[in-house]
Each structure stands twice: as structure tokens, then as C-alpha cells.
Amino acid sequence: MQRILLALAFLASVLLAVVALPRDKYEPIFHRFSRFSSCLCSTSPHLDPILSPDMQASIERYVVQVMTAHAHGEREFARKANGGRVAFQVTSGYHGLFSTRSNDPSIAIDDHGGAGECWTTPPLPAQLGIRLSHVIRPSFVSVEHFPPNDIGRTAQAPQNVTLWGVVDGKVNTELYQTFDAQHPPPDRRAPSIAKGLRWAPLASFVYDINSPRSFQTFPIAQQYVDIGMSFGVFAFEIYSNWGASVTCLHKVGIHGTLI
């Protein structure tokens, strides 16, 4: 109980500092926070760590989300608590039901899942479809794996990933057609499970298992931000992992602004 109270007090002090800071000071304060929280996780033979690695990762994720939202007026929309739901028609491995909890892709958007839970994807390439409760202009995506010290599961992290968005509605279709006519065609036009929909490749990125941060963010391609397209249905398509026989998707997020 004392450890939990210390963690909550630490989180509260960081968040109070964040909302009081000018926006250009966020990155330095986050680096200082990250170093200090790592000290609290120290495995000294003389002292028990105040924060467990899982607790540190959860606090770090929350601080990043608060910083980003405060800096840009942006929210996270994919999580179940925020109205996001799995779009099963464009999700790998769905045939009407899931046999076990680990086969349920909603784990990846459920903040109430256990610290060690993840969606064990079908063989790659695999994709997770997400339907938001709002149409948004996305600005970045987030992926979280287990803390780097969880060595046995590090290689299960996704590596090469693309976020796709369904192009829907007259305005968005016209914007996309105009954009498409003025730019070279992308390497791929749609994810593996396309269902006849028109898709835009919004972001392609590599999740880095060598980063000290288990919670990582990746920007939407600037050309889609510039033309102001909006989306309500997305798909995370995973092409590879870091060498494991299975791929584990722990948590994902889609951040942006309401239109």
C-alpha cells in the first residue's frame, strides 16, 4: 500500500508540473521524469524498488498522453473507455468468436486488461481493425509493448507496422482522389483484409524494442494531415515482429482531434 501511495503522489506531482509548464518545456521535463522513475525501479540489493517495471510503464504512458493532449488539444480515441471498438470484419482471425482471452483482439484497446495480457495475433501479416465512436482527424498513433526488462516477450513485439484509414464520405473521397492524382501511387493500395473498401496508408513505422520507452508514438504522414482528411475506421497491419514465433500486440492508440 505504501508503494502505491508513493507512486500516486509521484504521478500527481509530475502532472501538476506538466500542466503548469510552457509547451516547449515538455520534452526536457519528460526526460527528467523518465530518469527519476527509472531510479524508483532500481533493483539495488539493499532496497526494494518503489515502482515495479509495470507500474513505471503505466505511469510513463499516462504522462505522455497528458502531455500530448495538453500541448495539442488532442485525445486518444481507440481505447474502449473512449468509445473505440474492434472492427471484426477487417480483423485477422475472426470467425464469429474467439476461443481464448489471448485470441481476443479487444485486449489491445482495453485499458482494464491485465498488465501481462496481449493479443496473440494470427500468423503475419495480421491486422487489427478499429472503429471509433467519432470521426477524427488523426495526428499520431501509439503502440505499447511490455517493459524492456521483460526479456522473454521482447521479441514478440510488432516491428514493421502500417496504420490504414478507410476513406469514406463524399468530401473525403474527393480529397483523396485529388491527392492521389497528384502523387506517386503508394507501394500498396490496401491492407490484407480490405473488404472492397478504399484505404489510405496513414503511417508506416517501426516499433523499437531497443528504446527505453515501451510506450512509443508515431506521426500520421504529413500529406494526409495537410489535406485535412478525417477517418472513423482504421486498421493496424503488422508485417513482422522481432524474431519470435508469435506476435503479441499489447496496447495501441489513435490520437487526434474531432472534426
pLDDT, one tens digit per residue, over 15-31 is: 545 444 444 444 444 44
Task: Please answer whether residues 125 and 239 qualify as being in contact, where contact means their C-beta atoms are separated by less than 8 angstroms.
Answer: yes
Residue limits of CATH 2.60.120.260 in the chain: 74-258
Residue 112, pLDDT > 80, answer no
Question: Looking at residues 63-77, what average pLDDT do you find?
Answer: 64
Q: Which of 38-42, 113-117, 144-148 has the highest mean pLDDT?
A: 144-148
The radius of gyration computed from the CA coordinates of the chain, to the nearest angstrom, equals: 19
Question: Looking at residues 194-211, what average pLDDT do you find?
Answer: 96
Q: Is the dihedral of CA 229, 234, 78, 15 positive or negative?
A: negative
Q: What is the DSSP letter of 234?
A: E
Nearest Cα to Cα of residue 238 among 171, 162, 167, 187: 162
pLDDT of residue 188: 87
Cell numbers standing for residue 65 = 498522453
The contacts of residue 236 (CB under 8 Å, 6+ apart) are: 127, 128, 130, 141, 161, 162, 163, 249, 252
**CA-to-CA distance for 187 and 16, rounded, in angstroms?**
45
Cell numbers standing for residue 146 = 511490455
Q: What is the mean pLDDT of the chain?
A: 81
pLDDT of residue 187: 82
pLDDT of residue 219: 96
Residue 62, pLDDT > 50, answer yes
Q: Are strands 126-144 and 251-258 parallel, antiparallel or unpaired?
A: antiparallel
Task: Please answer whether residues 144 and 59 qualify as being in contact, where contact means their C-beta atoms are separated by less than 8 angstroms.
Answer: no
Q: Which DSSP string corresponds to 182-216? A: HSPPPS-SS-S--TT--EEEEEEEE--TTSS-SEE
> What is the fold of 74-258?
Jelly Rolls (2.60.120)
